[in-house]
């Protein structure tokens, strides 16, 4: 689930963005949690944990630029998209984790373009906690090539090696349903990020060849094509 916040003192603008966010995440089947704030002060006081922040620049009290600086100073890893009528503030507003600027009124296409980049980056930098019999460790999601079934358990094949997991392949499939992993075979769950090419089998970037079940072939190719198109936007 992606945590999103709107910090905007214009209620009509906030309502418009809320509807657009709902459209964006619903169309893509991505679970999200949304919170709305009318001032930067309330955002800070309530100690909001957000991954994406849609932020107005000009607000009473603490401005959007000052909130951006506060987040940076406090080491908060929040991806920021500014909304403003005052494009002259753009040079001052640039900084760490600032993805861009939207003019008012906000257009859905422009918002979606930035959200594509932000959600992709969130997924790329997430880690999975792998538990085995006697240890627990984290692996970056984009380091994983695929999961392989081992009876009731599974094995994770990654850039860091092969690791046993106490979860079944079905459990991983359910957990990673929205994260560009695909169950191409009863024994394999592959990571779209690390596919080299798809032929009669899947060539992974580490050189491994993964079989494709007959009934999954078309769905795999359609899903992978959609992933490639989305990455190219």
Domains annotated on the chain, with CATH:
2-124 (3.40.50.2300), 127-232 (2.40.50.1020)
Distance from CA of residue 163 to its chain's centroid? 24
Q: What are the start-end ranges of the E strands in 10-167? A: 32-37, 52-56, 79-84, 98-103, 127-131, 136-140, 144-150, 153-158, 161-165
pLDDT for the residue 89: 52
- In 3D, which of 183, 182, 197, 179 has the Cα closest to residue 141? 179
d(CA 143, CA 55): 32
pTM (predicted TM-score) = 0.65
pLDDT for the residue 96: 67
- pLDDT in 10s for each residue of the chain, 233 residues: 899 999 999 999 999 999 999 999 998 888 899 999 999 999 998 877 899 999 998 888 898 889 988 888 787 889 999 988 766 555 455 666 888 888 889 999 999 999 998 998 887 778 889 998 778 889 988 899 999 999 899 999 999 899 999 999 999 999 998 778 999 999 999 999 899 999 999 999 999 999 999 999 999 999 999 888 766 55
Contact 162, 155 (CB under 8 A): yes
């Amino acid at each position: 689930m992606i945590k999103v916040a709107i910090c905007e003192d214009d209620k009509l603008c906030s309502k418009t963005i809320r509807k657009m966010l709902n459209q964006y995440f619903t169309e893509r089947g991505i679970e999200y949690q949304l919170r709305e704030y009318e001032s930067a002060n309330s955002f800070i006081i309530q100690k909001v944990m957000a991954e994406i922040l849609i932020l107005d620049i000009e607000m009473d009290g603490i401005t959007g630029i000052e909130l951006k600086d506060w987040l940076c100073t406090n080491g908060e890893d929040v991806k920021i998209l500014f909304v403003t009528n005052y494009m002259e503030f753009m040079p001052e507003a640039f900084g760490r984790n600032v993805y861009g600027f939207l003019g008012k009124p906000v257009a859905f296409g422009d918002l979606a373009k930035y959200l594509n980049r932000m959600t992709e980056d969130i997924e790329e930098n997430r880690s999975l906690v792998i538990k085995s019999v006697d240890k627990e460790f984290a692996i970056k999601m984009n380091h994983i090539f695929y999961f392989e079934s081992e009876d009731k358990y599974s094995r994770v094949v990654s850039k860091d090696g092969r690791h046993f997991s106490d979860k079944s392949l079905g459990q991983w499939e359910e957990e990673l349903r929205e994260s560009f992993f695909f169950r191409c075979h009863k024994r394999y769950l592959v990571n779209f990020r690390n596919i080299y090419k798809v032929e009669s089998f899947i060539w992974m970037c580490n050189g491994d060849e993964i079989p494709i079940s007959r009934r999954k072939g078309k769905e795999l190719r359609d899903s992978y094509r959609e992933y490639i198109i989305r990455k190219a936007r």
